[in-house]
Amino acid sequence: MKRTVIRWGGLLTLVAAATMAHAQDAWVVGQSAPLTGSNAAFGKDIRDGALAYFKLVNARGGAGGKPIELVTLDDANDRKTAGANTQKLLTANNAVALFGYASATLSLDAMPQADKAGVLFFAPFSGANPVRQAPPVVFTVRASYADELEKMLAFWTGLGAKQVVVVHYDDEVGKQNLAVVVEYLKKQDKTPAAFSIARNAKLDASNFAQLMALKPDVIISTVLSGPAAEISKQIVARGSFVPTSSLSFVGAQQYIAAAGEAAAGVSITQVVPNPSSRAPIVTECAKAMQEAGMTQPMNSTHLEACIGAKVLTEAMRRAKKPGDARSLLAAMQNLGRYDTGGFVVNYAPGQNHGSKFVELAMVSRDGKLRN
């Protein structure tokens, strides 16, 4: 059996062929993630948080007596590539679960394939409607974008904001995020203004001028760290101040790194505990990363991936047939209430979304998230 192996931080990430027999020896978890391109930092953090926990499990004998192997293929944040990667993961690699796709857009062509194969599609990094209203094999760890948007809108409208401007992608997922805001504000007899951008596009001065012409009292950002950071930097460069809130989808640490000092004062919804908190799961995941040889501080993306990996591992332990995809799916469907250590998920037949946890955190002047 020929494999291509990347050595990184003391971990092995299998990124090429595995045989059908391989699944009999290990839990093969497939992942398509942006390891290159505009969202590479986010994709790598998802991979690394999961890898750290799986390495910890393997050091303790695996799950159900079998090791866990994460097979990660680069999709460069491209939907079609993610779909093609999924086909490879399910056929060439014989994955028993798909894990941690970086967005709803990257999940759109993957979820139907998982459903057809009867394979668990677990913990996508999205709370968008296509993931929430998905085939029965799709299970999430995080709250929905509707939960997040309602949290931030309640905060800003409570402070008197009238002109709400939504920055969104001009695709299916972006338009659905806008629709959530429209529906929420309709109850207050308000209508948001919309500013749409193409996915993977870069904003320039003319784009920013169009945004500011909408005269926002508050900006609700539903885009990734690149354009979100550019908006923040443009606001500061012009000596302006516009309250801004971003979905967790932005990738808090990736956004802070990209925006620099301009990130200060921006609020970001969080769907897992603060990485600086004392919750047992935070301590456990930080230790897993340290033992895996990862020297960077744990961020919220690492933590969410680690939590997802822990929940997936628990389902593996409860599966009646170790290494079997359908047995794993059944175990997840019947997992029930599971406390990871200060973060609780709850699954049952017909209940595939494990959490509604949302906090609103603000970026401080020293670049830290404060609740």
Residue 356 placed within a domain: no
Higher pLDDT residue, 11 or 186? 186
Q: In terms of domains, do 265 and 281 share one?
A: no
The enclosing H or E element of 326 equals: helix 325-333
Same domain, 238 and 335: no
Domain's final residue, options 242, 270, 298: 270
Residue 109 located in a structural domain: yes
Q: What Cα–Cα distance (Å) separates residue 30 from each residue in 64, 66, 319? A: 19, 16, 18
* 116 and 262 assigned to the same domain: no
**Residue 156 clears pLDDT 50, i.e. is over it:** yes
Q: Please determine, for residue 24, whether its predicted confidence score (pLDDT) is greater than 70.
A: no
Is 60 exceeded by the pLDDT of residue 349? yes
pLDDT reported for residue 19: 35
| Amino acid at residue number 145 | Y
Please report whether residue 223 resides in a domain: yes
Q: What is the pLDDT of residue 219?
A: 97
- The answer to the question of residue 304 being in a domain is yes
Q: How far apart are CA 371 and CA 356, in angstroms?
A: 17
Q: How far is CA 134 from each of CA 42, 121, 171, 223, rounded to the nearest angstrom? A: 23, 10, 18, 22
For the chain, what is the domain count? Answer: 2
CATH number of the domain within which 201 lies: 3.40.50.2300
Cα-to-chain-centroid distance, residue 210? 29
Give the residue numbers spanning the domain of 226. Answer: 145-270
Residue 250 domain-assigned? Answer: yes
User: Residue 205 has what pLDDT?
Assistant: 87
Percent of the chain with pLDDT over 70: 94
Residues 135 and 229 in one domain: no
14, pLDDT greater than 50 = no
> Is the domain of 97 the same as that of 215?
no
Which residues is 103 bridged to in the sheet?
none
For residue 226, give Cα distances in angstroms to 41, 53, 57, 83, 232: 11, 28, 34, 23, 10
Query: What 8-state DSSP symbol labels residue 260?
Result: G
More confident residue, 172 or 353: 353
Q: Cα–Cα distance between 15 and 42 in angstroms, integer?
A: 18
Cα–Cα distances in angstroms (integers) from residue 282 to residues 39, 248, 274, 300, in the given order: 24, 18, 8, 10
pLDDT in tens, 25-73: 899 999 999 999 988 999 999 999 999 999 999 999 999 999 999 999 9
Q: Is residue 366 part of a domain?
A: no
Question: What is the pLDDT averaged over residues 333-357?
Answer: 96
Give domain status of residue 297, yes or no.
Answer: yes
Asked, for residue 357, whether it belongs to a domain, the answer is no
Q: For residue 17, is pLDDT > 50?
A: no
Are 249 and 283 part of one and the same domain? Answer: no
Judgement on whether residues 149 and 35 belong to the same structural domain of the protein: no
Does one domain contain both 127 and 202?
no
What is the reported pTM? 0.86
Question: Token pair for residue 232?
Answer: 């923040």
| Residue 243 pLDDT > 90 | yes
Q: Which of 235, 252, 270 is the last residue of a domain?
A: 270
Q: Are residues 236 and 331 in the same domain?
A: no
Using CB atoms within 10 A of its CB, is residue 265 exposed (0-12), middle (13-18) or buried (19+)? middle
Same domain (yes/no): 60, 116: yes
pLDDT number for residue 119: 98
Q: Per-residue pLDDT tens for 268-311?
A: 999 999 999 999 999 999 999 999 999 999 999 999 999 999 99
Which of 241, 270, 299 lies at the terminal end of a domain, its last residue?
270
137-151 confidence digits (pLDDT tens): 999 999 999 999 999
**Cα separation, 123 vs 135, whole angstroms:** 14
Per-residue pLDDT at 87 = 98
User: Sign (positive/negative) of CA torsion 95, 98, 102, 105?
Assistant: positive
What are 139's strand-pairing partners? 122
Distances (CA, A) of 278 to 86, 273, 275, 294: 37, 9, 8, 20
**What average pLDDT does the structure give for the chain?**
91
113 and 20 in one domain?
Answer: yes
- Please indicate, yes or no, whether residues 61 and 107 belong to a single structural domain of this protein: yes
Residue of higher predicted confidence among 148 and 18: 148
pLDDT in tens, 78-131: 999 999 999 999 999 999 999 999 999 999 999 999 999 999 999 999 999 889
